[in-house]
Amino acid sequence: MRSLWALVVLIPWLNACVVAIPIPAGQDPDASRLAVAESGVRILLSPGDAASEVRERLGEPVVNLGPERVYVYKWAVSWGRLVWFVGGPSAAAAGVEPLVEGHLFMVALDESKTVVDAATKPFKPFSTITAQVGGWLSEAGRVEHMAELQADAPGRERSRLFVYRPASAPCGFPRFDSNAFKPSIALDNVVAGDLHKGEYLGLEAIAGEHVVTVDPLPHYRFEGQEDSRFVKRLAEMRRPVSLSLTIDDGADAYLEVYLCTGTGSVDVHAELRDHESALGAIEALRPAWAPR
């Protein structure tokens, strides 16, 4: 059982008291069929397994980076509850928050859609899943695994979609684009990555009609915390935006996205851009999966 410590913080200048008491709980051994140590990864998968076998064995990934470049599965293990109380002469509030530990299981695929590598990593809630995949690829010596989806890479026979989030956004005071929100990008209902400000995603796509969905609060980020008071309040602000577009054969398409928050809501802005203006904007950005 993981040990936890009680935390008591006094704020005399506010004439109030904030008390937070963690209550530990034993790890549920059935928390997830994917809750495995690094040594157990090879038992689940082996190099050369087909992508279809991976999905049959493990289900659909929460993130399908590329897509069809890296499958990412996520699970959460509960370690207990955090009971908190805020008291003062004019108001008081209390609540219970779940304490969870997230994990990622990442599976790299080659161009023939077969497994070439796999690993488990702790989930870092303040980072995008895309960046965490990039960090693993770098550690594994596979930095070039996603290189063909960079904006300055030579064109391929297959079409591509570039979705980018500028470092700054024209939200207008007092609203702003916050990195506290890491929107997911789904291509035809398949989440293919998420974005910090100042980043772009390159996605392979067949020519034709597509639907791109930008979700400012993707569900997988809060797995195991669904009954959290804080998460429920965030869910009230969740307003995904979908946009239809046509990608020509062998061509690239570009979508600029940014968020505006600060007044009790998170609004997604998504606009198609032409080749010239988009490339000019992307030149100042970094691939979302690039090692930091």
CA distances from 9 to 23, 85, 228 (A): 17, 11, 21
**Which pTM value belongs to this model?**
0.82
pLDDT the model gives residue 215: 95
Write the burial class of residue 26 (CB in 10 Å: 0-12 exposed, 13-18 middle, 19+ buried).
exposed
Q: Return d(Cα 258, Cα 167) in angstroms, integer.
A: 9
CA distances from 220 to 28, 146, 215, 234, 244 (A): 19, 23, 11, 13, 24
| Helical residues (DSSP H) of 176-248, grouped into ranges | 229-236
Using pLDDT thresholds of 50, 70 and 90, give the confidence band for residue 30: very low
pLDDT of residue 120 exceeding 50? yes
Reference 73, options 132, 148, 137; nearest CA is 132
pLDDT of residue 23 exceeding 70? no
**Domain range list for the chain:** 7-287
Reference 283, options 166, 160, 144; nearest CA is 166
Q: Return d(Cα 256, Cα 4) in angstroms, integer.
A: 43
User: Which residues have a Cβ under 8 Å from the Cβ of 54 and sit 6 or more positions away?
Assistant: 45, 71, 107, 115
pLDDT of residue 136 exceeding 70? yes
pLDDT the model gives residue 84: 59
Reference 289, options 69, 112, 41, 34; nearest CA is 69
Using pLDDT thresholds of 50, 70 and 90, give the confidence band for residue 117: very high
Contact 288, 193 (CB under 8 A): yes
